[in-house]
Homo-oligomer: A and B are copies of this chain.
């Protein structure tokens, strides 16, 4: 029996989707491929409430983050940092030689719109990076509200990592003014890692025209050229595309987007109630993630021991705190295709192991 992943990504993949990966390969320069590509476009646009094209990256989300800052910044980038992945985005910008500043907020505090407004009023920046849902801390930053602020600055692009949120919670790309909205498949999509998707606005493509090129593989203009032919720049991860098509159809045509988001809210609420009863929650109230809860280890339990017993006896795996939070917090992923019943089963089992009543 394999270990069921209640980690905040990779998360569990249903057998139906795993089987899609095993479909015979097709050639990526054929009509058959173009049909697949076009179908993916239709569904991804629906999922993200956008008219923008959604590019397919054969890479992890980190690759799409690199594409965002290497294509989207001409003047200077403001990196909003309140967790490990927002910090990584700053490092990515730096290593690529992209001019950037970071503004740091305590990791248990959300990025507030006022802070963004204050920083942008300097006129120094033409792009902002923000992680919507910090997998490292269980923080869900106020995406829509920050988007409202950024909209007031004409030339500032809004680059959003929604890695552990996309397909688990509502993101209205066009309404909220998001120029690039990226995610990997191994989180709320409940698919294996190996492909990232990102909506790309006209404004971002126009910016890419002005920027001195820094990459071929992650060059959005190269990708756009092939997008117009319903193809990818180079040979893509075909197995993932098959599985993604199936999952998007299941999400949109069968479960329904709103139902999926509602299910995620219910799972999140259940875990939060449990966490408040027995432990505490790491991020400030009002900004708890709908897909991953970061639980403060107020009882000073051994998280590795808990995980070991979960894995060995029940074939379930949760995650330790990320980086400096290791030992001080643990994380439960409640995203993708898990149901409330699965989450209940996990938490009752943890109660049993820890003798919580």
Enumerate chain A interface residues (CB-CB to B < 8 A): 2-3, 5, 7, 9-13, 15, 18-19, 21-28, 30, 58-63, 66, 88, 91-92, 95-97, 184, 186, 192-195, 212-219, 222, 233-240, 317, 319
In the assembled complex, the Cα of A19 lies from the Cα of B21 at a distance in Å of 8
Number of copies: 2
- The CA-CA distance from A214 to B97 in the complex, in Å, is 7
- The minimal Cβ–Cβ distance linking A214 to chain B, given in whole angstroms, is 6
List 17 A-B residue pairs with CB atoms under 8 Å apart, sorted by A's residue number.
A3-B26, A10-B25, A12-B25, A13-B25, A18-B23, A25-B192, A28-B193, A59-B59, A59-B217, A62-B217, A62-B233, A91-B216, A92-B216, A95-B222, A96-B214, A97-B213, A194-B238
The binding surface of chain A is classed by DSSP as loop
Q: Which residues of B contact A239 (CB under 8 A)?
A: 21, 192, 194, 239-240
Q: Which residues of B contact A13 (CB under 8 A)?
A: 24-25
Contacting residue for A212 out of B7, B22, B25, B97, CB 8 A: B97
Which of B22, B60, B240 is in CB contact (< 8 Å) with A236? Answer: B60
Bound together, the chains give a CA A322 to CA B72 distance in angstroms of 33
Pick the contact of A22: B7, B18, B317 (CB < 8 A).
B18
Distance, CA A5 to CA B26, complexed state (A):
8
Which of A26, A63, A233 has the most chain B CB atoms inside 10 A of its CB?
A63
Q: Which of A26, A59, A61, A192 has the most CB of B within 10 A?
A: A192
Q: How far is the CA of A15 from the CA of B19 in the complex (A)?
A: 12
Q: Are A235 and B24 in contact (CB under 8 A)?
A: no
Q: Which residue of B lies closest to A19 (CB)?
A: B22
Is there contact, CB below 8 Å, between B235 and A184?
A: yes
A43 to B88, CA, bound (A): 32
Chain B residues, CB < 8 A from A97: 212-214
List the B side residues contacting A10 at CB < 8 Å: 25-28, 235, 238
Tell me if B25 and A22 are in contact (CB < 8 A): no
Residues of B within 8 A of A11 (CB): 25
Complex alpha-carbon distance, A9 and B9, angstroms? 31
Residue among A13, A95, A233, A239 having the largest count of chain B Cβ atoms under 10 Å: A239
In chain B, what residue has the closest Cβ to A219? B95
Contact of A192 among B19, B184, B219, B237 (CB under 8 A): B237
The 8 closest A-B pairs by CB, nearest first: A194-B237, A2-B24, A60-B234, A193-B235, A18-B22, A92-B216, A62-B234, A22-B22
